[in-house]
Structure 1
Amino acid sequence: MIKYLGSKRALVGVLGEIATRVGATTAVDLFTGTTRVAQEFKKRGLEVTAHDVATYSEVLGNCYISTDADAVDRAELDDALARLAALPGRAGYFTETFCIQSRFFQPHNGARVDAIRDLLESEYRDSPLFPVLLTSLMLAADRVDSTTGVQMAYLKQWAPRAYHDLDLRAPELIPGTGHTLRGDATRTIDLLPRVDLMYLDPPYNQHRYFTNYHVWETLVRWDEPESYGIARKRVDARDEETKSVFNLKREMAPAFADLVRRARADVLVVSYNDESWITAEEMTRALRDAGHEDVRMLAFDSKRYVGAQIGIHNNLGQRVGEVKRLRNVEYVFVAGPTDRVEAATDIDLSVAGSSGLILG
């Protein structure tokens, strides 16, 4: 998967085990991001809906969740990937914006992205393979970028991986059915069907995913937007409609409480960490106020995201300071009928890959 702030890689086993223990057959991953958790649910046989506001997340959802691996013609997919991989580079908007005006990728890789993405748009847009091929391109670009994991800045010196050539690979597709929906959760929550389990991993501080991953938004939309700043962010990042209520400190807690109240699921699972604007006590209260019989919390000691490990960098990618906290506590709340909550939180520590489990 692409490098991603807030990725639940370390918790995916726990979240999948919870889904299994509560006997869920249907689930919604409401802030799905890279779809990592939704993929885990699908692998366990659940019918999953992956939901997010990001356009790149919709493509990942269409690839991993909506696409049934058993329905894909593998020979056709391999032929398409081989055709795209053989294209000579042709520098265009992507190269100029993200390789010349900024330094996210080396120009030779940027030119290949331009050529491949143009052909995807002109000849594969209406093909069921489109999200699979575009995901392959996104993953390939992620493997040769020169960032600390977010796209607000790039490194002053090229990352060693940036010298590698773009390499298209077939994504690891999952058998089964699923669904993808894009939209603002505060508006679309009422459109979702009732499910056995809903998982919520909302933004919970000032960091905006629209700007953190603006390169992926542009790669997917392929709309050549006006850009600004050293990082060449999309100009629409300044528009109010691209800003989330969950990135506003005063509004985040009441907005999330309202979302929880409107969520139609037998069991709610919520994850966030101790850097959030909502305390554990406030989260517990919000879940109880939403009418859930029982609420319990799991907590895991965890490394912070890769950028924190590397240090603080300015917009030029220059290291300007050290991060004071290299670890945080990841919380998982489970809310619902007591018997299901008890089953969900009686988890073998080994599925978390951590001995730092606290039950509250």
Structure 2
Amino acid sequence: MVKYIGSKRALLPWITGVVAHINGISPIKDAVDLFSGSARVGHALKNMGFFVTANDLHTYAWVLAQTLVQANRNQYPPERILPILKRLQRLKGQPGWFTRTYCQESRFIQPHNGAKIEAIRERIELEAATDQILRAILLFSLMVAADKVDSTTGIQMAYLKRWAPRSFNSLRLEYPPLLAGDGLALQADALEIAPHLQADLIYLDPPYNQHSYLGNYHLWETLVRWDKPQTYGVARKRTEVQKHKSPFNSRRTARGAMERLLSSLRAKHLVLSFNNEGFFRAEEIEAMLKEWGYVVRMSQTHRRYVGARIGIYNPQGQKVGQVSHTENQEYLFVATHSKKVFNALRSKETRRLAG
């Protein structure tokens, strides 16, 4: 899967463990991942046997969710997908707008891989002209392959001064980790769609500070939409990054957005991820959630993403900022209408803290 800040990769055992504990007390049939992002959590929830609805506003995230949550491995098995990937892999590179913009004017990917990406991306439209899920699966494979040969620290706000060693490798397409069973991927504003969704469990991982996910992963948005957008700056970001901001990305509007969201949710249980770099203190989140149900707060310490640990550099490769801290305090809040679930989770967390 792609490198993704906030992907919850390291936190998955913790999150799924908590959900499994809830499920053991109050059985869960379906779940919603409302800000699905990399779709890792939605994928893990589907793997637990739930029917999962994954939603995200950005097109690249929708493609990830279509692959990891909606696609059914029984309908798209390796014997169907691998021959297509092999045909795409054999294509010769065709350098064009993407190569010029992201491999020469900026240096996210080496030109030989950029040209290969362009050839494959063009052919995907022919291979999957009438099958949206097949198209998503092929795009997912291309995104992951490109991610493995990029030259960044994990986000696309900037690229490394010198080519990363992995960027010299050749692009390789692989079969995605599809799961058997059904799911649903939606592309909508979370605040607008939330009142129309209902599930036993809703997982929330909203943007928590001023950084836009569209800005952090603008390459994937362009690769998926293939629309040759107007760009700006050294990183050649899409100009829409400057215009479209989530209310969760502003300290001024985040509280109102969170309160509006929580008041619209219909579920037995909420699980919300946050950390101590966000706009809200843990106590503030607890207070908002208590309007919804019984609340348990859990926490763990985790290392920050690699870009935050190595420091801040300008486009000339000069260090311009200091590392303030290398670890985050990650929070998991469970809000539930079930006092039995509340008591069980509170006791579990108390025992953990007691060692």
Give the TM bin, normalised by the shorter chain: over 0.9
Partner amino acid for 1:19?
A: V
1:313-357 CA distance string (max 9 Å, x none)? 2245543233111011000000112212334455599xxxxx9x6
Taking the aligned partners of 2:174 and 2:222, their CA distance within structure 1 comes to 21
Of 102-111 and 116-125, deviating more is 116-125
Partner amino acid for 1:97?
A: T
- The correspondence for 1:224, drawn from 221, 228, 232, is 228
Task: Provide structure 2 residue ranges, at least 5 long, that are not aligned to the other structure.
Answer: none
* 1:167-316 to 2 correspondences below 5 Å: 167-192=172-197, 194-239=198-243, 242-290=244-292, 292=293, 294-316=294-316
Does residue 82 (structure 1) correspond to residue 92 (structure 2)? The answer is no
Does residue 96 (structure 1) correspond to residue 100 (structure 2)? The answer is yes
Of 318-327 and 167-176, deviating more is 318-327
- The correspondence for 1:46, drawn from 50, 70, 77, is 50
Q: Is the 8 A contact 2:46 2:69 kept in 1?
A: yes
Partner amino acid for 2:3?
A: K
Instruction: Give 3-state SS (helix, strand or coil) of 1:9's partner.
Output: coil
Partner amino acid for 1:244?
A: S
| Other-structure match for 1:160 | 165
Q: Percent identity?
A: 45
Taking the aligned partners of 1:342 and 1:9, their CA distance within structure 2 comes to 28
Does residue 29 (structure 1) correspond to residue 33 (structure 2)? The answer is yes
| Other-structure match for 1:3 | 3
1:247-279 CA distance string (max 9 Å, x none)? 110110121121011111110011110111111
TM-score, normalised with respect to structure 1: 0.93
Q: Is the 8 A contact 1:298 1:358 kept in 2?
A: no
Does residue 112 (structure 1) correspond to residue 116 (structure 2)? The answer is yes
Partner amino acid for 2:319?
A: R
| Other-structure match for 2:343 | 342
Taking the aligned partners of 2:159 and 2:286, their CA distance within structure 1 comes to 38
| Other-structure match for 1:352 | none
Shift of 1:72: 1.5
Aligned residues: 348
Partner amino acid for 2:9?
A: R
Shift of 1:18: 2.0
- The correspondence for 1:145, drawn from 130, 141, 150, is 150
Partner amino acid for 2:210?
A: Q
Partner amino acid for 1:342?
A: N
Partner amino acid for 1:286?
A: M
The two structures, once aligned, show a CA RMSD in angstroms of 1.7
Which structure has more relative contact order (CA 8 Å, sep 6+)? It is: 1
Shift of 1:125: 3.3
Taking the aligned partners of 1:317 and 1:83, their CA distance within structure 2 comes to 39
Instruction: Give 3-state SS (helix, strand or coil) of 1:332's partner.
Output: strand
| Other-structure match for 2:14 | 14
1:47-73 CA distance string (max 9 Å, x none)? 101111111010011111001112224
Taking the aligned partners of 1:220 and 1:319, their CA distance within structure 2 comes to 33
1:290-319 CA distance string (max 9 Å, x none)? 3x1x10100001101121122112245543
TM-score, normalised with respect to structure 2: 0.94
